[in-house]
A and B are shown apart, each in its own frame.
Chain A
Amino acid sequence: MLLTYMAPDALTELKKGSAVTLVLAVLEDGTRHGYDLAKEIDRRSAGRLIFHVATLYTTLYRMEHDGLIAGRWVEKAGHRRRRFYRITPPGRRHLAAARRTWQDFVSAIDGVVLKPA
């Protein structure tokens, strides 16, 4: 109901702002390359959050520039050369703060939406 009302523009906005948080949350568990990262977000959101690939890379490069993540080329025998991203300590701090904000936001929305007056 709420999502219908907000979608599609509001959802896009929300996604944009939370893209950084999403990437950090996925990388928190381990290093991943770009494609893998997109797949993982797709999997965890059960297909509801789909990043356009290039938007994903724009986000990744900006995050790397800001020092939240670090990329590194890895070449394994028999594998394609890929760029793997990992979360940095500033990235972890950023993620923790984003999580708190998100929980506050969700509980505020819940307070309004789930308890009819």
Chain B
Amino acid sequence: MTLMTTAQWAARARERLAPLLGGPPDPEFVDEVAAHLAQAYEEARRDGRSEAESRQAALRLLEESSPWIEAARERARRPLARRVQEWTRQESPPPGDRGGFVQRLGLARDIRHALRMLLRAPAFSLIAIMTFAVGIGANAAVFSVVDGVLLRPLPYPDADRITMVWLDNRREQIKEDITSYPNYRDWRDQNTSYQHLAGYSESAFALTGAGEPERLFGAQVTANFFDVMGLTPMIGRLFTTANETEGQDAVVVISHGLWQRRFGGAADVVGKTITLSTRAHEIIGVMPPELKWPERAELWKPLAPSQQVREARGSFWLPVVGRLKPGIGVASAQTEMAGISTRLEQAYPGNRGYGANVVALRDQMVGGVERALKVLMGAVAFVLLIACANLANLMLGRTSARRRELAIRTALGAGRARLIRQIVTEALVLAVFGGTAGVLLAIWATKSFVALAGNTLPAGATIGLDARVVLFAVAVATLAALLSGLLPALHASRAAVSDSLREGGRQGGPAGSRRTRNVLVAAEVALALVLLTGAGLLMRTFWGMQHVDRGFAVDRVAMATVSLPGPSYRTPDLIRAFYNRFLERVRAVPGVESASLTTGVLLPLLANSGTFAFEGKPLPPPDQRLEYPIEFVSPGFFETIGARMVAGRSFTEQDNERGTPAAIVNETLARSIWPGEDPIGKRLKPGDGTDNRPWVTVVGVVRDLRRADVKRPIRGEIYACTLQTTPRTQTLLLRAAGDPAAVMSSVRRELQAIDPQLPLFRVTTLGAQVSDTLNQPRFQATLLGGFAAIALLLATIGIYGVTSHAVGQRTQEVGIRMAMGARRSDVRWLILRQHVTPAVVGIAIGIAGAFVLNRFLGSLLYGVGAVDPLTYALVTVGVVGVAVAACWIPASRAMRVDPLVALRPE
């Protein structure tokens, strides 16, 4: 009988404990038991007992097995971190246990080894994991937005067949203009491309009766609108073309959201009657939640234009949407619609200059933000590349410190492929941890992005972290691990193979490795510089848009809209009386400095507009006649928003129904119609000047107001007085002494006192309105700025890491230099020069790259060119400063080297 080895004792222990534990015991525990038994056995032998007796004595310890079980269970209660650590120390599976797929490939061993290595260098591992987390997290977050907005198909059957058909207004340079009913009818009847072509008009309704009066956003649509969207009602039915006539249109289809919110999802909602803008409507159907067109619409009712409107080819109010026949593309539809429009231009002189423009619905929804999202996706890809370069650098540093270990492994027979696999496995393990942290980071980041984006992203896009995003994160993590792991692996394995042939070998990377690390630093700096210049340009754009002189002051101005329903306010006198009374009461509210009314302040492009004739000026031919936006404003309007009159006067209480019709024009209009003349006293009227409507006299010229998107050129504008024409829907503007939002509750009370049936809607402040127009530039600038900051931070860490490592390697060299009489400042200069150089090379490459890539920002920029010297100069100076700072600390450390210490043999 031979002596029993520890392994045999372990086998005995495992075999006895397993049935009692109901599974294999913790190997660590088994090891400890085995060591104990072996020692007990050896001691018994030393005491002179026989081999058999000694073995008996040791095994007896196992027989009283239950306390061992207790110990084994105690062992199992260790914290997770410990268990991971212990698992990494586990040996190969016992013979006979073939293990799973992972074991057979030897992957478990690799992963175990990798974990052991990473636990041994916790600082390195933590930095690497955080770098991975930032790179992967940023990519996952931006991808979740891109996926939700750009990649997912719209929720309609064959959604790629749905397109908008816009009027291409060549006169005003508006590519996506709305059309007239007769044009729509001709488009619909003459085309062969579309299965269905529908017209719709967005409008708001006051829902009164049950509960609080509420302002609802909806659309009047032709009956085939639902065929275009390809959706059928969940409950009830749809309306038909028979409902498209006045008097037959008191039916309504409501959205799933409204059904849930206002009617509690009641099944018997169909057949109920609701009051919309004081008219009774029957609910005939409920649409599924997918229907989100027009955006934010909560109800759809028949489009029933009057006979007059049906024939008014010069009255533009109708957006058109259609469903292409199967197999017909957008391009061929465009060709056909353009052809029809050309025929219409020839047939009707008023149509000259109006083409057709077909835009896929998807492009329509994401058009404004597509470029911004692509830029951001590119930006995060850059961040990831920088992160990978940084990680590759870190790992190069680490593997060169591990050269002895690797050399030994090579000497013991590990092939080059084996070493590469080991190092790449380490990168993968880091990526798994980093990726997990990154996904958690992305959950938070995605929410922040969406909040920051505001109305920039299309309503109804579903954005969030789902399986697709996680899958993407996994792909990114794998790619990042391979990118950052392969280079160090190749280097280290080559070095290890040559080292193993030599004896000992100095620590520290060969020249090749140092060159590689410098190249990586240069690449990082170049990428960061591209991002920084892009971010700089977008920030200047945002700043410029924020500080543009709009011609009016936004502080302390609140606004809210009131709409008077036709049946209760039948005559202009009633409307005028209501608004006079309302304004009077609001002006009396404490804290209100001034109040006025308007039909639109910051309305974007689809404002009221029309063509005008100017007295004494020849009428241009129809295709050159321009439309001018016209707004109706009350006396006090320009004073409330702080706009300055440059000539004449603003409106007064005398500009009422008994006074001479008066108008105020902006500077642009005055300059273009009456160049070099005094516009005050000149006259104009809507239309071509041939009808018997009265002439309107210009009484004042106001400074140009930038009321909408600052990127659009300012058009000539006309203002008329609300006292002379009586729009039903008017917006109250008030300048408060203090917080404008605070006086709104008083305003609401005043309104209720006059007419409790009227809802006050679109309650907001002028500041918020202006801020909303800046959502997209703010979103772009903040995100790209954030990514650029991360990029710069990573690049700084990269430069610092490389310099710091190199200085550590060069202690001896520096010592020799100083012993030979080099001054400390010489040493610092030497280090700085050598290590800032790669950064400078990176800056040069980065500037060249930025020249090319920033052109993609194109339309996102405003008030600054893609090659803005100031931005480039500032970024360059900043990056050089950061590079010098990152090298300064290690260089100063080198300077303080004591030559004696440095020269002492190892």
Are B71's CB and A54's CB within 8 A? yes
A65 to B32, CA, bound (A): 16
22 contacts between A and B (CB under 8 A): A33-B35, A34-B35, A35-B36, A52-B64, A52-B67, A53-B61, A53-B67, A53-B68, A54-B67, A54-B71, A55-B70, A57-B29, A57-B36, A57-B68, A57-B74, A61-B71, A61-B77, A65-B77, A80-B38, A81-B35, A82-B32, A83-B28
How many residues from A make CB contacts under 8 Å with B? 17
- Check A58 for interface membership: any CB of B closer than 8 A: yes
Of chain B, the residue at the smallest CB distance from A54 is B67
Shortest CB–CB separation between residue A98 and chain B, in angstroms?
21
Closest 8 CB pairs of A and B: A54-B67, A57-B71, A61-B74, A54-B68, A58-B71, A35-B39, A54-B71, A58-B70
Are B36's CB and A34's CB within 8 A? yes
Which of B36, B40, B70, B78 is in CB contact (< 8 Å) with A65? B78
Shortest CB–CB separation between residue A42 and chain B, in angstroms?
11
- Check A5 for interface membership: any CB of B closer than 8 A: no
A52 to B64, CA, bound (A): 9
Which of B31, B40, B66, B67 is in CB contact (< 8 Å) with A81? B31
Taking Cβ atoms with an 8 Å cutoff, the residues of A that contact B are: 33-35, 52-55, 57-58, 61-62, 65, 73, 80-83
Of chain B, the residue at the smallest CB distance from A55 is B67
Are B31's CB and A62's CB within 8 A? no
Of chain B, the residue at the smallest CB distance from A82 is B35
Give the residues in chain A near B64, CB-CB below 8 Å.
52, 54
Which of B32, B70, B75, B79 is in CB contact (< 8 Å) with A34? B32
Of chain A, the residue at the smallest CB distance from B78 is A65
How many residues from B make CB contacts under 8 Å with A? 25
Give the residues in chain B near A58, CB-CB below 8 Å.
67, 70-71, 74
Give the residues in chain A near B67, CB-CB below 8 Å.
52-55, 58
Give the residues in chain A near B68, CB-CB below 8 Å.
53-54, 57
Give the residues in chain B near A73, CB-CB below 8 Å.
31, 89
**Interface residues of A, dominant DSSP:** helix
- Check B764 for interface membership: any CB of A closer than 8 A: no
A81 to B64, CA, bound (A): 24
Give the residues in chain A near B29, CB-CB below 8 Å.
57
- Check B6 for interface membership: any CB of A closer than 8 A: yes
* Tally of contacts, chain A with chain B, CB under 8 A: 61
Shortest CB–CB separation between residue A57 and chain B, in angstroms?
4
Shortest CB–CB separation between residue A114 and chain B, in angstroms?
36
A33 to B28, CA, bound (A): 14
Shortest CB–CB separation between residue B73 and chain A, in angstroms?
8
A81 to B78, CA, bound (A): 21
A35 to B43, CA, bound (A): 11
Are A57's CB and B38's CB within 8 A? no
Give the residues in chain A near B36, CB-CB below 8 Å.
34-35, 53, 57
Give the residues in chain A near B70, CB-CB below 8 Å.
54-55, 58
Give the residues in chain A near B69, CB-CB below 8 Å.
54
Give the residues in chain B near A61, CB-CB below 8 Å.
71, 74-75, 77-78
Of chain B, the residue at the smallest CB distance from A71 is B32
Are A80's CB and B71's CB within 8 A? no
Q: Which of B39, B70, B89 has the most CB of A within 10 A?
A: B39
Give the residues in chain A near B28, CB-CB below 8 Å.
83
Which of A54, A65, A83 is in CB contact (< 8 Å) with B35? A83
Shortest CB–CB separation between residue A110 and chain B, in angstroms?
34
A86 to B68, CA, bound (A): 22
Shortest CB–CB separation between residue A39 and chain B, in angstroms?
8
A61 to B64, CA, bound (A): 19
